[in-house]
Amino acid sequence: MIEVDHLTKVYSGRKAVDDISFTVQKGEILGFLGPNGAGKTTTMRILTCYMPATAGTARVAGYDVFEESLEVRRRIGYLPESPPLYPEMAVESYLHFVAKIKGAPAAQRQSMVDDAMQKTAIGDVRGRIIGKLSKGYKQRVGLAQALLNNPEVLILDEPTIGLDPKQIHEVRSLIKALAGDHTVILSTHILPEVSMTCNRVVIIHNGKVVAMDTPTGLTNQMKGAEKIALTIQGPRAAVLERIGSIEGVLNVQAEGEENGAPANYMVECRLQSDLRGVLAKEIVSRGWDLLELRGVSMSLEDVFINLVTQE
């Protein structure tokens, strides 16, 4: 549905986007991540025909964004970081206005507006002035204008920025509900949101793609070892020695005072080796108290920081 091939954008001799390539499949939600200034917004502006690239190609729904921009625009809905709203207009009037400038036939505009309001749950504020709405409702109105022509592709730049936790949950649920019927590129700084919403992730830094995979795939790629956290009541030196001698354990570290109180241990094991059962049996057989045992997962935030720091 979206094909980006060796895309480059140069501003005053600086490469804001540097030879990036990726694809987005039909019905997929792609998380587009990167620190400020990484090139995310520039890439989105090129895909939405807002600006030309310096080199490379991009196609949306089979159409070239440079040579067939009108066809591309008919097939995309775009929500920039600051929603393109007119605060003095009422919600329904604004959506009718947007439908008109998008070229929707007059006979179809009301049904298009009703459908967009239903999808974004803003029917209860259809007659209210946009400028008097909450931030969450304004964001929904912005998403409704992006959905008006029932586009094949949605490009959303920081759609939950500035929202409270309840509003974030509502917008996130809405975006997830759009998957399948729409192909979505979602740019965000809220990394847990990507794990909960997106099928795949592209991480961009200094204009280059530094990683591309599913959220789970990225964490697996970055892990050097499986980690298990333990809390044990027992003699620290003996615990360290015994756990460290178990086949598959790469390293073990202890935290806490050596005063007889329970201590916390972090055990690193070889990848693909689940030693939780072995560790539990060994600790109990020694007569030590096992107070906690849990696997430690690497978060997408850990992956993101690791990749950006490496670059």
One domain for residues 51 and 37: yes
Domain enclosing residue 239, as ranges: 224-297
pLDDT at 55 > cutoff 90: yes
Please report, for residues 38, 52, 76, 305, 309, the alpha-carbon distance to residue 44 in angstroms, rounded to integers and kept in the order given.
Answer: 12, 11, 11, 23, 24
**pLDDT tens-digit map of 275-290:** 889 999 999 999 999 9
Q: How many CB atoms lie within 10 A of CB 46?
A: 24
Quote the mean pLDDT of the chain. 87
What pLDDT is attached to residue 68?
93
Q: Residue 253 maps to which CATH number?
A: 3.30.70.260
One domain for residues 18 and 131: yes
What pLDDT is attached to residue 163?
74
One domain for residues 152 and 6: yes
Of 180, 203, 221, the one marking the end of a domain is 221
Span 171-194, mean pLDDT?
82
pLDDT at 38 > cutoff 90: no
**pLDDT tens-digit map of 227-271:** 899 999 989 889 999 999 999 898 899 986 666 688 999 998 886
One domain for residues 18 and 80: yes
What pLDDT is attached to residue 289?
92
Q: Residue 96 maps to which CATH number?
A: 3.40.50.300
Q: Domain total for the chain?
A: 2
One domain for residues 275 and 133: no
**pLDDT tens-digit map of 245-257:** 999 898 899 986 6
**pLDDT tens-digit map of 120-131:** 889 999 999 999
One domain for residues 101 and 232: no
Q: Which residue has the tokens 């959905």?
A: 147
One domain for residues 132 and 49: yes
